[in-house]
Amino acid sequence: MTPMTELMPGQFERIARIARHRWGLALTERKRSLVGNRLGSLLRGSRFSGVDAYLEYLEQDAGHEDMLAFFDVLSTNVTSFFRDPAHFEYLERQFYTPLARGDTTTPGRRIRIWSAGCSIGCEPCTLAMNALESLPDGQQWDVRILATDLSSSAVQQARAARYERRLIEHIPPDLVRKYFSPDPADPGRSVAGDRLRRMISVARMNLMEHWPMRGPFDVIFCRNVMIYFDAPTRLQLVRRFYDILSPGGVFAVGSAETLSGLDVPFRAVQASVYRK
Ligand SMILES: C[S@@+](CC[C@H](N)C(=O)[O-])C[C@H]1O[C@@H](n2cnc3c(N)ncnc32)[C@H](O)[C@@H]1O
């Protein structure tokens, strides 16, 4: 069993300060022991003599990769396929169906989607299956999904798109058969097939920094990401999402999140779903 690492007075506060400054993360006291234990595992066998030496390095001259390794200590990648199914049902009913009927149009049948904070890729894969299943002639549409996350290990896993059985179990069996195949290297896993992979591009990106893409996006999912951010960071981010959405575009946050109280002109259309 891994020994527990208890943070000394002041250490958690220093960690929280770096997290807020770099990534807008608001670490609460409840995370103290989780962060301590993860930090302990990271530092075991490392060149640092202890937590203080490591924090000094982070505060002064840590390189980009080291900061990302530290981000992995703090972040939570929990995700699943078809998480909050009501969001995908909304897209089917109120976004894809009117498009397929011709009630609304997109130039060149282009649909651009962004899964911001995609974790290991379950969300972008679900968005891809949802689009293909909702548009009767799914192949005739130019649907592209940008999937971004700051965590390097999450991005690596999203690119590999290999998933354990416990995750695959959330996908209806007919869709598993259609869009996944057994992993030849490990029969306990399934790999996303080419139809999904062709639609999804995965990139590492910090939401707090400059966004290299111009947009606009028709759909943006940023679910269960901003709950870890402080209020000013959340407001700033939601305004940027608003700006990069096309008129009428759909914006979804996690089911436990809301935009109420934020000064952004989104129209609430369903719990945790908004339109521009
Ligand atoms: C709990 S997961 C949510 C995954 C998925 N959106 C869902 O709802 O299932 C939160 C993700 O947000 C990412 N994240 C947190 N802060 C971020 C930032 N500043 N820039 C980009 N990604 C960030 C984390 O790495 C993590 O993978």
Q: Burial, 124: exposed, middle or buried (Cβ in 10 Å; 0-12, 13-18, 19+)? A: buried
Give the domains, in start order, of the chain with CATH numbers: 11-74 (1.10.155.10), 85-275 (3.40.50.150)
- Residue 225 in contact with ligand 1 by CB distance below 6 A: yes
pLDDT of amino acid 102 = 85
Per DSSP, what are the bridge partners of residue 142? 110
- Among 149, 157, 257, the mutation site with the greatest number of ligand 1 atoms within 8 A of its Cβ is 149
pLDDT of amino acid 73 = 87
DSSP 266: P
- Among 71, 81, 119, the mutation site with the greatest number of ligand 1 atoms within 8 A of its Cβ is 119
Q: What is the pLDDT along the chain (276 residues), one digit of tens a residue?
A: 455 678 888 999 999 999 988 888 888 888 888 899 999 988 988 899 999 999 999 999 888 888 988 988 888 889 999 999 999 999 999 999 999 888 887 877 899 999 999 999 999 999 999 999 999 886 789 999 999 999 989 999 999 999 999 999 999 999 999 999 999 999 899 999 999 999 999 999 999 899 999 999 999 999 999 988 888 889 999 999 999 999 999 999 999 999 988 999 999 999 999 999
- Among 80, 125, 150, 202, the mutation site with the greatest number of ligand 1 atoms within 8 A of its Cβ is 150
The distance from CA 72 to its chain's CA centroid, rounded to whole angstroms, is 14
- Residue 207 in contact with ligand 1 by CB distance below 6 A: yes
Tell me, in angstroms, the distance from the centre of ligand 1 to residue 256's CA: 15
Q: What is the DSSP string of 62-120?
A: --HHHHHHHHHHH------TT-SHHHHHHIIIIIIHHHHHTSS--GGGEEEEEEES-TT
pTM here is 0.92
Q: Which residues contact 100 (CB under 8 A, 6 or more apart)?
A: 134, 135, 136, 137
For 155-234, strand residue ranges (E) read 162-164, 180-183, 186-192, 200-204, 217-221
pLDDT of amino acid 72 = 87
- Residue 154 in contact with ligand 1 by CB distance below 6 A: yes
